[in-house]
């Protein structure tokens, strides 16, 4: 356990150090790369609450990732064109955007979760996919905000007191949100709520027997999980200055799951480790060969077969059970 705590600290510092080192070495692109790692890690941290702690394998979290992205894109475009949205002005301030993204994601996740949680196992995987596909096709066919072509964000949204156009400042914003989310997850995991959630994963009836309704616990976890992933989506849109339905595709849902498994399912820092490795692999292999997907496949396969428990599992030993 202490080993895992140390490893988490090392990962957090590593991710923080990367952009500063890059800046000093005159390689500004690595700042962007580190930002991408932080944002994808944040999205996966959100999913990890449902998937890792709650055992709810959602194959539809890309929908929330995309909804968060569209919250940023739509608000920013209304602010930029000075057109009111439902009688309210748009905004280019990140805190407001995150709030809206969080609210919308919660509102969408509530009915989806309420229906999906009636099922379990593979059925849950597929029903969450079904809802995400509905959202995806809606975004593709809805012409108002660009449909399949997506929506550009002309100027990256602002954060009070910071110049977000500066890559390093924007990285720090993302990093701070990631750390806040990790602290939140840590608190949740060790709370009564978290204990009930993890207990429900292992034994449904026992939890019900002590008077806790696992359905409500799971629903709450699913909604919080969607909200965190949605905020990550808003940041991702700002990183790319662009949002499109491909953020909601089932491949993206799959990629988020892959990040978690790669890092170590149910580990607090699993998504962080997974995101760092996956982005690094994609970047390094893509630069080497046009057959990069072939080699990526072999590396992922190697991790599953020979590195059980993901990166954290290999480096920090077996997970505690409790």
Partner 1 sequence: MRTILAAGALALALGASGIAFAEPVKVGMITTLSGGGAGLGVDARDGFMLAIKLSGSKDIEVVTEDDAMKPELAVQIADKMIQSDKVDVLTGIIWSNLAMAVVPNAVAQGKFYLSVNAGPSPLAGAKCDKNYFNVAYQNDNFHEAAGNYAQTEGIKKMFILAPNYPAGTDSLNGFKRYYKGELVGEVYTKLGQTDYAAEIAQIRASGADSVFFFLPGGMGIAFMKQYAQSGVGIPVMGPGFSFSQDVLAAIGDAALGAKNTASWSPDLDNPKNKEFVEAFKTEYNRLPSIYAAQAFDTGTLLAAAAAKADVKDADAFRAALAAAEFDSVRGKFKFNTNHHPIQDFYVREVVKNDEGVLTNKIVATSFTDHTDAYAAECKL
Partner 2 sequence: MQTALIVEQLLNGLQFGVMLFLMAAGLTLIFGVMGLINLAHGSFYMVGAFACAAVAAATGSFWLGLAASLVAAAAAGALIEVTVIRRLYGRDHLDQVLATFALILILSESVRWLFGDFPLYLNIPPQLGGAVALPGGVQYPVYRLAIIAAGLLVGVALYALIARTRLGMRIRAGESDREMIGALGVDISTLYTIVFALGAALAGLAGAMVGALQSVQVGMGEPVLILAFVVIVIGGIGSIKGAFVGALLVGVTDTLGRILLPQLLAAAIGPAQAAGIGAALASMSIYIVMALILAFRPKGLYSAQG
Contact characters 243-272, partner 2, x per CB under 8 A:
-------x---x--xx-xxx--x-------
Q: Which does 150 bind (CB under 5 to 8 A by kind): partner 1, partner 2, none?
A: partner 1
295 part of the interface to partner 1, by CB under 8 A = no
Query: Which one of the spans 26-34, 42-50, 203-211, 259-267 is the region binding partner 1 (CB under 8 A)?
Result: 26-34
Tokens read off for 192: 């009564």
Phi, psi of 203 (to 5 degrees): -150, 100
Among 91, 244, 253, 265, binds partner 1 (CB under 8 A): 244
* SS3 state at 310: helix
286 part of the interface to partner 1, by CB under 8 A = yes
Q: Are 139 and 66 in contact (CB under 8 A)?
A: yes
Nearer to partner 2, 28 or 254 (CB): 254
120 part of the interface to partner 1, by CB under 8 A = no
Distance between CA atoms of residues 196 and 163, nearest Å? 42
Tokens read off for 187: 């608190």
287 part of the interface to partner 1, by CB under 8 A = yes
Distance between CA atoms of residues 86 and 88, nearest Å? 6
Distance between CA atoms of residues 294 and 285, nearest Å? 10
Q: Which does 300 bind (CB under 5 to 8 A by kind): partner 2, partner 1, none?
A: partner 2
305 part of the interface to partner 2, by CB under 8 A = yes
Nearer to partner 1, 36 or 201 (CB): 36
Contact characters 74-113, partner 2, x per CB under 8 A:
----------------------------------------
The long-range contacts involving 182-191, CB below 8 angstroms and separated by at least 24 positions, are 182/12, 182/45, 182/268, 182/269, 182/272, 184/228, 185/45, 185/48, 185/49, 185/53, 185/268, 186/268, 188/49, 188/53, 188/224, 189/53, 189/268
Cβ 261 to partner 1 shortest distance, Å: 20
Return the sign of the alpha-carbon dihedral for residues 84, 88, 94, 100. Answer: negative
Q: Are 310 and 265 in contact (CB under 8 A)?
A: yes
Cβ 284 to partner 2 shortest distance, Å: 16
What residues make contact with partner 2 under the rule CB under 8 A? 51, 57, 115-116, 118-123, 125-127, 129-131, 133-134, 137-138, 140-143, 250, 254, 257-258, 260-262, 265, 291, 293-294, 296-301, 303-305, 308
């Amino acid at each position: 356990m202490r080993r895992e705590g140390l490893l988490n600290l090392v990962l957090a510092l590593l991710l923080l150090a990367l952009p500063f080192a890059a800046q000093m070495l005159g390689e500004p692109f690595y700042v962007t790369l580190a930002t991408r790692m932080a944002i994808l890690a944040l999205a996966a941290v959100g999913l990890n609450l449902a998937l890792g702690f709650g055992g709810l394998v959602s194959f539809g979290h890309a929908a929330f990732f995309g909804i968060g992205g569209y919250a940023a894109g739509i608000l920013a475009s209304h602010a930029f064109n000075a057109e009111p949205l439902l009688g309210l002005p748009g905004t280019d301030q990140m805190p407001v955007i995150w709030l809206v993204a969080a609210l919308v994601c919660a509102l969408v996740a509530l009915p989806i979760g309420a229906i999906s949680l009636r099922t379990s196992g593979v059925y849950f995987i597929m029903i969450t996919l079904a809802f995400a596909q509905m959202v995806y096709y809606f975004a593709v066919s809805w012409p108002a905000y660009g449909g399949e072509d997506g929506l550009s964000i002309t100027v990256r949204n602002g954060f009070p007191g910071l110049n977000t156009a500066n890559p390093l400042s924007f990285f720090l914003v993302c990093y701070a949100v990631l750390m806040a989310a990790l602290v939140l997850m840590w608190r949740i995991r060790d709370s009564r709520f978290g204990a009930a959630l993890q207990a429900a994963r292992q034994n449904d009836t026992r939890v019900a027997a002590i008077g806790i309704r696992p359905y409500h616990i799971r629903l709450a976890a699913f909604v919080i999980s969607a909200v965190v992933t949605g905020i990550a989506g808003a940041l991702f849109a700002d990183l790319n200055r662009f949002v499109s339905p491909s953020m909601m595709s089932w491949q993206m849902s799959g990629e988020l799951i892959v990040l978690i498994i790669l890092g170590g399912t149910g580990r607090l820092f699993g998504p962080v480790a997974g995101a760092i490795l996956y982005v690094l692999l994609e970047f390094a292999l893509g630069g080497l060969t046009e057959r990069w997907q072939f080699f990526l496949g072999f590396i992922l396969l190697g991790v599953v077969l020979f590195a059980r428990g993901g990166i954290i599992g290999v480096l920090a030993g077996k997970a505690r059970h409790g």
